Structure 1
Amino acid sequence: MRFRSDPFVLALLLSVITAYLFPQWGVEGSPFPTKTISSAGIALLFFFYGLKLSPDKIKKGLNNWKLHLVVQLATFVLFPLLVLPFYPLLKTTEQHTLWLAVFFLASLPSTVSSSVVMVSIARGNIPAAIFNASLSGMIGILITPLWITPFLEQAQTDMDFGSIYLQLVIEVIAPVILGIILQPLGGKFAGRYSKQLSFFDKSIILFIVYKSFSESFHSGVFSSIRWTDILLLIIIALSLFFVAYGIIYLISALLRFNREDRITALFCGSKKSLVHGTVMSKVLFSGMSSGGIILLPLMLYHGLQILLVSIIATKMGGESLVSEQKDTDDRP
């Protein structure tokens, strides 16, 4: 079988390389308003999703309780349980810090924007993806600290995540609702320019990747970590992703999910939010001198999950188009 490179995957790699060579463009204080561009892009992205959705489809998606249960249990139960058994094996302070960093990653909610975009690219259940990604973000504000605080030397209880709720409302919930309200007027527009909107979705993902890696490279978080540690964390991140992805796939098969629901379960249930992780780490690990190391597994996983899921999503989306085209050709 001949390998054919995917332009979007290559663009993702180029975004990471650009972030390494020119991190100053994507960090706070840059002449480019990266934060504003990112927030506005995500809001527009979800607004266009709202335009594509009819109230009947949304109602159908929200009533799929089995799918929602699988996604949330995978996010907040399966992932932590995959990491928790290794805790008794820790012997040194360094091992404890690295394990805590990985466990923090495992306890985080699913990412919102990229999960929905990838589900869209793979032609999955978009209403259910929006619902689960948004719900995961809100649940994670409570669940993640409950998982982490027992393993901290000094647990902090004065947590204020009001800004996260506000960001979720402004960038996700409100744009989707507005799009749904305007769907009778703009639904045909969204359908007519679906290819252009898909290009916009991918562009936002590329920008988020660049911005995230720029901040990582600029902060110098990698300078205090040995290459062997990074290699080990990459292996752990890959293992965590594929084991969780495989278990979710088996559960989806046992529950006989259709293709769209299976895609949503796989993509929403296997991803972790860099945004939530960054904010929560500032509160949970503010007293730790190695706080920067806590974010390293998350940043590695964040990059790997986008690269891996983009490959899978693009392949699934292509297969769906071929199948639809075949069905059209077979009609009399």
Structure 2
Amino acid sequence: MSWPRWLPVDPYVAAMVATIAVASILPARGTAATAAGWATTAAVALLFFLYGARISPREALDGASHWRLHLVVLLTTFALFPAYGLLLGLLSPSVLDPDLYQGLLFLCAVPSTVQSAIALTSIAGGNVPAAIFSASFSSIVGIALTPLLVGAMMSDVGDASLSPAAFADIALRLLLPFVVGQLLRPWIGAAMKRRKKLLTLVDRGSILLVVYTAFSASVVGGIWGRVAVPDLLILLAVEVVLLAAVLGTLAALPFGRDDKVAIAFCGSTKSAAAGLPMATVLFSGPAAGLLILPLIIFHQLQLVTGTVLARRWAMRRAAGPARVT
């Protein structure tokens, strides 16, 4: 069965919402929670192994020479986003729920997405080789930078684990599988390309398992008694402002049209595939669900916004020379 085209929601996001609903009704408890935790650890390792096996060093290096573009993307992801996030602290707690604000800070520390950024850049007719390098490099660098930013910005989160052991745990769970995938790529890379649909299901299934495990712990801890619908609507409005501010800043930079497209999609997106697994390592207890909720909402927002912009820019490109606005 194919996803009905008339539905405005991406099927992956719909699956995330359904997963949260299932976790809210049937959360994993006791032995089931322990089993779900081990399954999540294995699924995340598999996820990063597959990333390593699929990312082609040659394709990435084709766009490596454009260092100004890559520097802008890195600064946007790991400096501009956190700066705007800290500025939004003026809204907490008077307007924005303090727990959700902490999740917003975590969102600002997460690396940029890989697959979506590259796909949207391609649709819009942007600099795809540069997007491949920037998005991939951001994801790898984020394994080290994201925990450091979390430690700097979220020091008052009681359930955060930011000890040297936590960094070693991240390297073991995320970086090591990625490196192994890269090393085995010459032998399994061709098979990966032939099984893209199956690998996409594995990718998304892994993330859904992470979401279910985190929200199960949060539901058991009483998450829905701590956050109301108006709080979520305010969070959505704040994230719209955040995304608009980042895109507006990037649009003002003096780059050519194709480079601006790559910068926009690599710099303004945040990776649920990288961020959610990191959250399982950095945070524990009932707070985890609230801390990942802003990232899940932002994921939907960036998909909708990115798709609209990519199609708009593609149409303008087909019509003739145009600016990226």
Unpaired segments ≥5 residues, structure 2? 123-127, 314-325
Residues in 1 aligned to 2:272 and 2:244: alpha-carbon distance in whole angstroms = 9
Identity percentage over the alignment? 23
Superposition pairs for residues 81-120 of structure 1, below 5 Å? 81-85=83-87, 94-95=93-94, 98=97, 102=101, 105-106=104-105, 108-110=108-110, 115-119=113-117
Cα 1:134–1:219 change in 2 (3 A) is: farther
Residue of 307, 322, 327 corresponding to 2:300: 307
Which of 130, 135, 142 pairs up with 1:136? 142
Q: Which letter does structure 2 place at the counterpart of 1:300? A: L
State the alpha-carbon separation in 2 of the partners of residues 211 and 200 from structure 1: 16
Structure 1 contact 129–268 (Cα < 8 Å) conserved: no
What secondary structure sits across from 1:257 in the alignment? helix
Equivalent pairs counted in the alignment come to: 300
Q: Residues of 2 paired with 1:188 and 1:319: CA distance?
A: 34
Deviations 1:249-289 (A, max 9, x none): 5549668517556433332489993555576567xxxxxxx
1:178 Cα deviation (Å)?
2.3
Larger radius of gyration: 1
Question: In the alignment, residue 27 of structure 2 is paired with which amino acid?
Answer: P
Match of 2:68 among 66, 69, 73: 66
Distance in 2, matches of 1:97 and 1:106, equals: 12
Counterpart in the other structure of 1:56: 58
Distance 1:19 1:74, change over 3 A: same
User: Please, what TM-score do these two structures have when normalized by structure 1?
Assistant: 0.68
The question of whether the paired residues in 1 share the 8 Å contact of 2:103 and 2:295 is answered with no
Question: Does the Cα contact within 8 Å between 1:67 and 1:265 map onto a contact in 2?
Answer: no
Name the aligned partner's letter for residue 143 of structure 2: G
Instruction: Indicate the residue corresponding to 1:323 in structure 2.
Output: none
User: 1:143-180 deviations in whole A, cap 9, x for unaligned?
Assistant: 3433455xx6x9x9x95133233323432x22332222
Q: 1:316 to 1:21 in 2, by over 3 A?
A: farther
* AA in 1 matched with 2:11: P
Is the alpha carbon distance of 1:234 and 1:7 closer, same or farther for their aligned partners in structure 2, counting shifts above 3 Å? closer
TM-superposition CA deviations, 1:42-81 (whole Å, max 9, x none) = 3223333333333322434555533442333223332343
Using the alignment, how far apart are the partners of 2:223 and 2:270 within structure 1?
A: 28
CA apart distance, 1:299: 3.1
C-alpha distance 267-178 of structure 1, shift in aligned 2 (>3 A)? same
CA contact (8 A) 1:12 1:209 kept: yes
Measured after TM superposition, the shift of residue 310 of structure 1 is 4.2
Report the Cα offset of residue 110 of structure 1: 0.9
Residue 10 (structure 1) shift: 2.8
Q: CA deviation at 1:4?
A: 4.3
Structure 1 residue 121 displacement after superposition: 5.7
State TM-score, norm by structure 2.
Answer: 0.70
- 2:166, 2:282 within 8 Å by CA — same for their partners in 1? no
Equivalent of residue 205 in structure 2, options 197, 203, 206? 203
Q: CA distance change for structure 1 residues 203 and 120 in 2, over 3 Å: closer, same or farther?
A: farther
Matches of 1:83 and 1:190, distance apart in 2: 37
Amino acid at match of 1:163: A
Q: Are the equivalent residues in 1 in contact too, given 2:100–2:293 (CA < 8 A)?
A: no
Deviation at 1:139, TM superposition (A): 1.8
Q: CA deviation at 1:301?
A: 1.0
Question: Using the alignment, how far apart are the partners of 2:189 and 2:276 within structure 1?
Answer: 32
Instruction: Tell me which amino acid in the other structure corresponds to 1:13.
Output: V
Q: What is the Cα deviation at residue 98 of structure 1?
A: 4.1
Instruction: Give the deviation of 1:232 after TM superposition.
Output: 2.7
Q: Deviations over 1:71-92 (max 9, x none)?
A: 33223332343244466687xx
Report the AA paired with residue 105 of structure 1: L
Partner amino acid, structure 2, of 1:79 = F
CA contact under 8 A between 1:101 and 1:293: conserved in structure 2? no
Contact 1:20 1:213 in 2 (8 A): yes
For residues 48 and 121 of structure 1, the distance between their equivalents in structure 2, rounded to whole angstroms, comes to 18
Looking at structure 1, the residues matched to 197 and 258 of structure 2 have their Cα atoms a distance apart, in angstroms, of 31
1:17 is matched with which residue? 21
Q: Is the 8 Å Cα contact of residues 52 and 183 (structure 1) preserved in structure 2?
A: yes
Pairwise mapping of residues 186-197 of structure 1 onto structure 2 (< 5 A)? 186-197=188-199
Q: Give unmatched runs, 5+ long, in structure 1.
A: 283-290, 321-332
The one of 170, 173, 178 equivalent to 1:170 is 173
SS in 2 for 1:95: coil
Give the superposition deviation at 1:207.
2.5
Describe how 1:140-289 pairs up with structure 2 within 5 A. Answer: 140-148=146-154, 160-171=163-174, 173-248=175-250, 251=253, 256-257=258-259, 259=261, 262-268=264-270, 273-274=275-276, 276=278
